[in-house]
Structure 1
Amino acid sequence: MAKDWSAKDRAAALAKAERDGIDVLVIGGGITGAGVLRDAAVRGMNVLLVERGDFASGTSSSSSKLVHGGLRYIAQKQFGVVRESCQERDLLLKNNPNLIRPLPMMLPAHEGSKAPLWQLRAAMWIYSALANFRASTRFKILKPKEALKHCPDLKADKLKGAALYHDGQADDARLVLETIKSARDKGGEAVNYTEAVSFEHDEKGKISAVTIRDMLDGKVYTLHPTVVINAAGPAVERIRNMDQPVASPEVVAAKGVHIVIPSGRIKSDVCVNYETDDGRYIFMIPWGDVTIIGTTDTFSKEIDDPVVHAKDVDYILSATNKAFPSAHLTTNDICSVFAGVRPLVAEKGEQNKKPDEISREHRIWEDASGLISVAGGKLTTFRTMGQEVMKKALSRFPKKFRKKLKPVNTKDMPLRQDNFKAPELEKSLCEKFNLAAKSARHLVKNYGADALEIMNAAQPDERQSIGNSYFTYAEIPWVMQHEAATNLTDILERRMRMAILAQDRGVPEIKKIAEVAGRAAGWDEARIKKEEEGYLARIKKRYTIQPD
């Protein structure tokens, strides 16, 4: 049974941290911070994570949702990144089979392609070698006719063949939430909408206290952690500057834009990684009722609230229509759009490179004040990043303290109990609650074994699909009670993902959605109306194309 974790628990968690003290404070509730939190919690440490927005409200909910080995990094000779990514991808697939799913990938080669077919074959052998030729890296070089069977809409003219291989696919925001929930099960704590405001230093210049503010009620707390870890993503240098000015900024922000179209618009049973006119590669990713296409890669100053501009969409549509000429995509086909900002660490001499030329390796800084900061890296490698950060943090504690900690091996530790048979659980949901098969599939994929609990706990009028989508009203009260969702945007953007994965984004049913949430949270009519309007405004700003 899922552990309670609602907005009502926030104040008690912050007060306890102030009163009893903590070993580690993690600033940042994306995938990197979640990985650090879990590693510390598994060791038996008293650890608190604070996030000034909602969990995964930044980069970690706006990725391509791929858990991949980084095939393209071979061309940049980032062999260490590829080796580590392949290993972590395989572990995630093994440990969390219903959370991370295998995804067939196809990389076509046309006459005149940046990577001709012989290079693709060579790259696939290197890819396999870096993964020690594990079964997960088996590949096949397809003939043109074979490639077109997988994707009939792919450009056939001058097609020389394609590489077919497998990576993984996951809901990025769900991955963050399950990592944090796993950490909480081990004794860690996390609070959203809580901002680190300032640091206090002792006579030696070391951080002695951190002032944090609850963004919902304005209350201020003073914490005294032994170690502070800054995992604030694109805002990592903002936190470092709050401690002491950064002499030479090293983190650059790169914006990635995706568009979402109905799944039938491009016929394909694989994810296709195709080349653009400027030599980049973007993904066409099947995902249930929709297809996600992206991403762009441009430097940006939109760190906090990136939006999608018309020129970003034009770039994706132009490249996609050339790769799939029979599709004839226009903006009228777009269900939703979204943008995220990746923090890239630019080493000396890399500032003038293009974003896709900058290494995806992560970097850890240890400042004189004791602040440990981490940035860069990939969604796939969050576990090893958290482990590496915590190894550095442990050196700050007395040997006597370290000896009391639990031995850690997160390598074989699943994020949630995923050892059930999905088809059997889906069938049970359909039979017991007269649920549509696609809704049962969604519940099991998103919530795992908790899917049955969600439906059991729901009111009779909540055990139904929202409009024509596979999402259900039953999820709304459950995520508020068990996943710290505080408002309607938390629910629809990051817990259920309707903002990008539902073709109408939940807008036609927003009134009933808000009423169900209000009933669960005890909101009055004014609050329900405010939440409804807030979500619609959010859709208009973040998930709708903005003029250039």
Structure 2
Amino acid sequence: MFDGLFKFLGLKDKPSQRGSVVIKIGLSLYDWFTKRDQLMPNHQMHSGRSTQKRWPMMGSDVKSSATYFDAWISSPERLALELIQEGVEAGGVALNYTMVSGLERGQLTISNHDAVEAIQVKTHHVVNATGAWVDTTNGLLTAPSQYMQGTKGSHIIVDNAELLAELDGNMLFYENSEGRVCILFPYFGKVLIGSTDIPVSDPESVRCTDEEIDYIIESLRGVLPKLVISREQIVYQFCGVRPLPSVNTSTTGQIPRSHSLKQDKIGDTHIYSLIGGKWTTFRAFGEEVADELLASLGKTRVCDTKQRAIGGGKSYPVTDSSKATYLASLSERHPQFSQRQMETWFQRYGTACESLLGALQGTQDKALLSLDDYTQGELKFILEREYVSTTLDVLLRRTSIAIEGKLTEESFEEISNLVADHFAWSQSEREKDRAQSKQVLLDFHGVELDALPKVSKPTLQPTVTENEQLLDGEEYVFNQ
């Protein structure tokens, strides 16, 4: 208890467990700060006995627990895509797989990933929002910086029915023996478990290692000692880099998770570097940056995003009855699709499913032979409208097929063929995309399909920035 209190007050810098007093203080402050817009009950503290009753697999060392409510982002990649689409609708231009290759006399040079084409843009303002790559990008902008101190966080997705049933729809936060906060929660019928917090100097090279997987499983045993997780139950793994600021601390856990804005000037060009940030605060951070940039132009922001609905969240029915009414209306307007299909698309895309339904109206859409909860028309719609360039874009960045553990050799082949046919690739282009995709899936995500020869280095590598994901339901924080 006192170790955690001393750490909370800044009187101790070594890793330690927070203790129930600090957790109680933190959750009380959380309730107080959110009370104006509060929709859910306040937090509750529980004794060891009541905790054991609720969580039969819990270890006897757990002395207390707390519950509170929060929200979550189930598909952060799709939210990011919707933000890009709204920017384009407002008059912006989005270029996928494009990198900065120079800045000289106000001329910004950008090129595609193959460096085949390059264009120059005259600008006085550049916003560097490349996350863990901020310093790398600034170097290319001839404004070298040392703003970032990234740490990697690895996660695993496990198919363990016993653990899924134990969670019963809840997210569980717990502290391991080092005082590191770990999480696990239901995720598309599986369980997501994480994470590590390891300093990295090169965000391009990070992987979820075998040692980290052992660490994650061993940490979980500390709070759920009766649980057995085998390596065979791990269907997916991933590693992200937190875009944290460069500061002097004794441990990675002490690095601030808040965001900030750094400014540099090269000639007449202002460079705004976004440091830190997370989904929890992305709207506020975006407004802060916009205000700063607009002020330098002698202008002010004309819209507020606090209550602004995004993408499939527009006109979203929030109650069970309004959802039922909405789905019934969709079924009436699009009778060719089953109720199950309507519900699936609504869950995936929100009210944006109406654009998909409109595009498929009058077509003979068919389910994938290898993955019947996705359809050919659905994936073709994604290919046409969502800036797809590779098979990996579909599997990792537009859908949750891979992370759900649904990817098989058959589904990979069927989807890669759809992608290749859409772009009218030659046989060599098809083979290159397949080989690179399978290599990335194996190296970065532990998904082994067939044993294709390794390619030297994938041109397109997935760089996943860790997103703050919160579960809609009770969240449990445990003190051992």
What's the TM-score, normalizing by structure 2?
A: 0.79
Looking at structure 1, the residues matched to 171 and 367 of structure 2 have their Cα atoms a distance apart, in angstroms, of: 31
Residue 418 (structure 1) aligned with residue 314 (structure 2):
yes
Looking at structure 1, the residues matched to 228 and 431 of structure 2 have their Cα atoms a distance apart, in angstroms, of: 39
Looking at structure 1, the residues matched to 301 and 181 of structure 2 have their Cα atoms a distance apart, in angstroms, of: 44
Task: State the shift of 1:148 in Å.
Answer: 5.1
Q: Conserved in 2, the CA contact under 8 Å of 1:274 and 1:283?
A: yes
Looking at structure 1, the residues matched to 224 and 212 of structure 2 have their Cα atoms a distance apart, in angstroms, of: 18
Structure 1 partner of 2:352: 450
Look up the SS of the partner of 1:395 in the other structure.
helix
Looking at structure 2, the residues matched to 250 and 73 of structure 1 have their Cα atoms a distance apart, in angstroms, of: 30
Residue 223 (structure 1) aligned with residue 121 (structure 2):
yes
Unaligned 5+ runs, structure 1: 1-71, 79-112, 202-207
Q: Conserved in 2, the CA contact under 8 Å of 1:152 and 1:268?
A: no
Structure 1 partner of 2:25: 122
Change over 3 Å in CA distance of 1:478–1:231 after alignment to 2:
same
Task: State the shift of 1:359 in Å.
Answer: 0.3
Looking at structure 2, the residues matched to 73 and 516 of structure 1 have their Cα atoms a distance apart, in angstroms, of: 57
Structure 1 partner of 2:13: none
Q: Which amino acid aligns with 1:125?
A: S
For structure 1, which segment, 377-386 or 114-123, has the greater mean C-alpha deviation from structure 2 after superposition?
114-123
Q: Conserved in 1, the CA contact under 8 Å of 2:62 and 2:223?
A: no
Looking at structure 2, the residues matched to 481 and 474 of structure 1 have their Cα atoms a distance apart, in angstroms, of: 10
Change over 3 Å in CA distance of 1:76–1:160 after alignment to 2:
closer
Structure 2 partner of 1:181: 85
Q: What CA deviation, in whole Å up to 9, does each residue of 1:263-316 have, x standing for no partner?
A: 524121200001112111111011121111111100013312421111110100
Residue 540 (structure 1) aligned with residue 428 (structure 2):
no
Task: State the shift of 1:454 in Å.
Answer: 2.6
Looking at structure 2, the residues matched to 277 and 436 of structure 1 have their Cα atoms a distance apart, in angstroms, of: 48
Q: Conserved in 2, the CA contact under 8 Å of 1:499 and 1:506?
A: no
Task: State the shift of 1:412 in Å.
Answer: 1.9
Change over 3 Å in CA distance of 1:380–1:406 after alignment to 2:
closer
Task: State the shift of 1:489 in Å.
Answer: 0.6
Which of residues 258, 263, 266 in structure 2 aligns to 1:361? Answer: 258
For structure 1, which segment, 275-284 or 521-530, has the greater mean C-alpha deviation from structure 2 after superposition?
521-530
Unaligned 5+ runs, structure 2: 11-15, 318-322, 449-480
Change over 3 Å in CA distance of 1:241–1:515 after alignment to 2:
closer
Task: State the shift of 1:491 in Å.
Answer: 0.8
Aligned alpha-carbon RMSD (Å): 3.1
Structure 1 partner of 2:110: 212
Task: State the shift of 1:495 in Å.
Answer: 0.3
Looking at structure 1, the residues matched to 48 and 5 of structure 2 have their Cα atoms a distance apart, in angstroms, of: 25
Looking at structure 1, the residues matched to 214 and 17 of structure 2 have their Cα atoms a distance apart, in angstroms, of: 22
Q: What CA deviation, in whole Å up to 9, does each residue of 1:139-198 have, x standing for no partner?
A: 222345654565443x14143332111122112211211111122222222111111100
Q: Conserved in 2, the CA contact under 8 Å of 1:435 and 1:464?
A: no
Task: State the shift of 1:436 in Å.
Answer: 7.7
Structure 2 partner of 1:513: 415
Task: State the shift of 1:337 in Å.
Answer: 0.2
Q: What CA deviation, in whole Å up to 9, does each residue of 1:414-436 have, x standing for no partner?
A: 11253243445556569945658
Looking at structure 2, the residues matched to 226 and 424 of structure 1 have their Cα atoms a distance apart, in angstroms, of: 50
Change over 3 Å in CA distance of 1:476–1:281 after alignment to 2:
same
Q: Which amino acid aligns with 1:274?
A: Y
Q: What CA deviation, in whole Å up to 9, does each residue of 1:27-78 have, x standing for no partner?
A: xxxxxxxxxxxxxxxxxxxxxxxxxxxxxxxxxxxxxxxxxxxxx9997579
Change over 3 Å in CA distance of 1:481–1:75 after alignment to 2:
farther
Which of residues 192, 196, 202 in structure 1 aligns to 2:96? Answer: 192
Looking at structure 1, the residues matched to 240 and 397 of structure 2 have their Cα atoms a distance apart, in angstroms, of: 13
Structure 2 partner of 1:324: 224
Task: State the shift of 1:492 in Å.
Answer: 0.7
Look up the SS of the partner of 1:393 in the other structure.
helix
Looking at structure 1, the residues matched to 134 and 33 of structure 2 have their Cα atoms a distance apart, in angstroms, of: 31
Structure 2 partner of 1:8: none
Task: State the shift of 1:451 in Å.
Answer: 2.3
What's the TM-score, normalizing by structure 1?
A: 0.70
Change over 3 Å in CA distance of 1:492–1:518 after alignment to 2:
same
Looking at structure 1, the residues matched to 54 and 373 of structure 2 have their Cα atoms a distance apart, in angstroms, of: 25
Change over 3 Å in CA distance of 1:460–1:407 after alignment to 2:
closer
1:319-398 paired onto structure 2 within 5 Å: 319-347=219-247, 350=248, 352-369=249-266, 370-397=270-297
Task: State the shift of 1:488 in Å.
Answer: 0.7
Q: Which amino acid aligns with 2:20?
A: L
Look up the SS of the partner of 1:191 in the other structure.
coil
Q: Which amino acid aligns with 1:489?
A: L
Look up the SS of the partner of 2:296 in the other structure.
coil
Q: Which amino acid aligns with 1:494?
A: R
Looking at structure 1, the residues matched to 177 and 226 of structure 2 have their Cα atoms a distance apart, in angstroms, of: 18
Q: Percent identity?
A: 20
Structure 2 partner of 1:464: 367
Q: Which amino acid aligns with 1:527?
A: E
Task: State the shift of 1:461 in Å.
Answer: 7.2
Q: Which amino acid aligns with 1:165?
A: Y
Q: What CA deviation, in whole Å up to 9, does each residue of 1:459-504 have, x standing for no partner?
A: 9775325646744443311111121111111111010022212x24
Structure 2 partner of 1:484: 387
Which of residues 167, 192, 196 in structure 2 aligns to 1:268? Answer: 167
Change over 3 Å in CA distance of 1:418–1:305 after alignment to 2:
farther
Q: Which amino acid aligns with 1:178?
A: E
